[in-house]
């Protein structure tokens, strides 16, 4: 994921801009891409439990917390 520059979405280190429509659209598109990558790497039952998360970092945190 770091080679595609999407790790910041999983880590939650790139906040969603609220002042620039173009940046918001780009952030949403990249965040959604990271979400799809994560969802494709987990079982269907796990993916269903994360359907209503809004960001890749929320999903990653849930996965991290559920695994401990």
pLDDT at 7: 87
pLDDT at 30: 93
pLDDT at 6 over 70: yes
| Ranges of each domain in the chain | 2-62
pLDDT at 18: 87
Contact 36, 15 (CB under 8 A): no
Query: What is the distance in angstroms between the CA of the first residue and the CA of the last residue of the chain?
Result: 23
Token digits for 13? 């280190």
pLDDT grade for 3, boundaries at 50, 70 and 90: low
Task: Note the pLDDT tens digit of each residue in 20-57.
Answer: 999 999 999 999 999 999 999 999 999 998 889 999 99
pLDDT at 66 over 80: yes
> Phi and psi for 53 in degrees, rounded to 5?
-75, 145
How far is CA 10 from each of CA 14, 32, 36, 37, 46, rounded to the nearest angstrom?
A: 9, 11, 12, 10, 17
C-alpha angle 15/9/1, rounded to 5°?
Answer: 155
């Amino acid at each position: 994921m770091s080679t595609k520059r999407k790790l910041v979405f999983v880590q939650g280190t790139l906040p969603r801009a609220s002042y620039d429509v173009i940046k918001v659209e780009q952030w949403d598109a990249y965040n959604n891409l990271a979400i799809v990558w994560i969802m494709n790497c987990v079982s269907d039952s796990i993916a269903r439990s994360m359907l209503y998360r809004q960001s890749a970092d929320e999903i990653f945190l849930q996965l991290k917390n559920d695994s401990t």
